[in-house]
Structure 1
Amino acid sequence: MSLIIRPEAPADIPAVFHVNQRAFGRDNEARLVNKLRDENAIVLSLVAQVDETIVGHILFSPVTIRDGETEWQALGLGPMAILPEFQKQGIGSKLIRAALAELKALGHDVVIVLGHAEYYPRFGFQPAQPFGIRWEIDVPAEVFRLAELTPGALRGRRGIARYHPAFADV
């Protein structure tokens, strides 16, 4: 298996839709990706390619965190999708690691994710609540996580995280 992780290209759009649709078993996340793309709200979108087939996708979009009158920006990871027949082979881990390294190189310092509490800690994601950051919607604390790409980036920062409005439809 020859795996390549690379930026999404315009020709990949149908395959990215297909991967998200298959991975989630519905088209909500696939439509979300298209809407974020249409609204130029994607900071980073990578695909995992095996031979000539797109088998995985990861996307990052802006997240606004507000504490009263103070506002700052982070990035949200998601959706991330792997075709079912390629899951549990380490492709998702490779996508996340490659994406976080790229985001750090681009100067981003905080990434937020709403996801599996058992999966994301291996990539440095910790519960957001102890940092004084919560999502605008009540969710279990163990699934709302963040990672500091720059040590100390969260010092003195707190607030309520708000994803791009396109996420309201998911």
Structure 2
Amino acid sequence: MNWTIRQEYPSDYYAITELHALTFSYSYGMGEAVLVNILRARSTFDPELSLVCELDGQIIGHILFTPQPIRIQGSTYQGLILSPLAVHPNYQKQGIGSALIEAGHHRALHKNFALSVVLGHPHYYVRFGYQGKAWMDEQVHIPLESIYTDRIAVVRERRIELGDIPSFSLMWEHLHASSPLALIPGSSIQDWISPGAGTISTALLIDEKLSGYIRYSSTDPEKISFIVAQDSHSLLLIANYFKQKLNPLTASHLSLPLPATSYLLERFGTTFDVNISTYAEYMVKILEGPHHSKLHHHFTAFEEGSIPRGSIIWPVEFDVC
């Protein structure tokens, strides 16, 4: 087949949305189609990294690489998130996906990106230089009986405001200054407010002072996906507030997506358990360039266990999937 791979144009948006709706049929929704539209609204969106495969005027494939700064061992690198990739069901297993990935990598290399991350099928993406188990999920499980405070404080949630963002970013920096691996949140209000219908993202106030940020499931407050706090005492008060949201008949712990070594947990001593898991689908590709050797060393050390893997918390846009 004589197809063409090129960057997307606004006139392609309808066809790209339809393509993703056709391709991802594992649910009743069309999360990937919505995801692409939301990622286009990011300040970092680069249309030259949103590629389509066109055949006889029809869009039969699409791939999106989203620029994403990544913190690795205290240094910041310009990285990419590969998601999503779609090939029309009538044209799959004909090399279109491979051609889109390779074209994207070629453009990324010329734009001086250092690495690309994807949550993908390991037997497929390894063919393009991706390696699995590149990061981990880490949760601390704090027994509810260990969450108590003598201080009387009023903790409440409110809608995120533009003026909150610098404080959120500073809290994140204190938490992840030397993180093995973390995605750096953006500085726009839309980088902190989730578009997911099932996700609540709020500012946390303690005695009317901005003291934290949290993202959690609207139907199950036990499922907290992101949290930062001003300090360890603020986290204790926030944890005590969320403890009241849980059903005491079914919940025994509060789970937080924090590194077990975080200074935010010092008020809890050694009372919490840690759950760590990693999967072959957690994949990274180190691109050729000035940072290749250093990054290769880091990820080899992760694989060998000489330094701990970091954790990736996906940007708010991915809450729609």
List structure 1 runs of 4+ shifted beyond 6 angstroms. 134-139
Inter-partner Cα distance in structure 2 for 1:100 and 1:42: 16
- Mapped contact 1:62–1:163 kept (Cα < 8 A): no
Determine the structure 1 residue equivalent to 2:311: 160
- Mapped contact 2:182–2:313 kept (Cα < 8 A): no
- Mapped contact 2:34–2:320 kept (Cα < 8 A): no
Structure 1 residues 84 and 40, CA gap change in structure 2 (3 angstroms): farther
Structure 1 residues 35 and 86, CA gap change in structure 2 (3 angstroms): same
SS at match of 1:163: coil
Q: Which has the higher strand share?
A: 1
Inter-partner Cα distance in structure 2 for 1:56 and 1:139: 33
Determine the structure 2 residue equivalent to 1:145: 283
Alignment of 1:14-33 (within 5 A): 14-25=14-25, 26-33=29-36
SS at match of 2:311: strand
Aligned-pair distance for 1:73? Answer: 3.7
Alignment coverage as a number of residue pairs: 169
Give TM-score, length-normalised by structure 1: 0.86
Pair 1:53 & 2:63 matched:
no
2:121 aligned to 116, 121, 144, which one? 116
Letter in 2 for 1:104: L
Inter-partner Cα distance in structure 2 for 1:117 and 1:134: 21
- Mapped contact 1:63–1:163 kept (Cα < 8 A): no
SS at match of 1:6: strand
Inter-partner Cα distance in structure 1 for 2:66 and 2:37: 12
**CA RMSD for the aligned pairs?**
2.6
Deviates more, 1:84-93 or 1:60-69: 60-69
Inter-partner Cα distance in structure 2 for 1:20 and 1:142: 24
Inter-partner Cα distance in structure 1 for 2:59 and 2:19: 7
Aligned-pair distance for 1:140? Answer: 4.6
Inter-partner Cα distance in structure 1 for 2:277 and 2:105: 24
Inter-partner Cα distance in structure 1 for 2:34 and 2:45: 14
Give TM-score, length-normalised by structure 2: 0.48
What runs of 5+ residues in structure 2 fail to find an aligned partner?
A: 137-179, 184-224, 226-256, 258-275, 300-308
- Aligned identity (percent) is 36
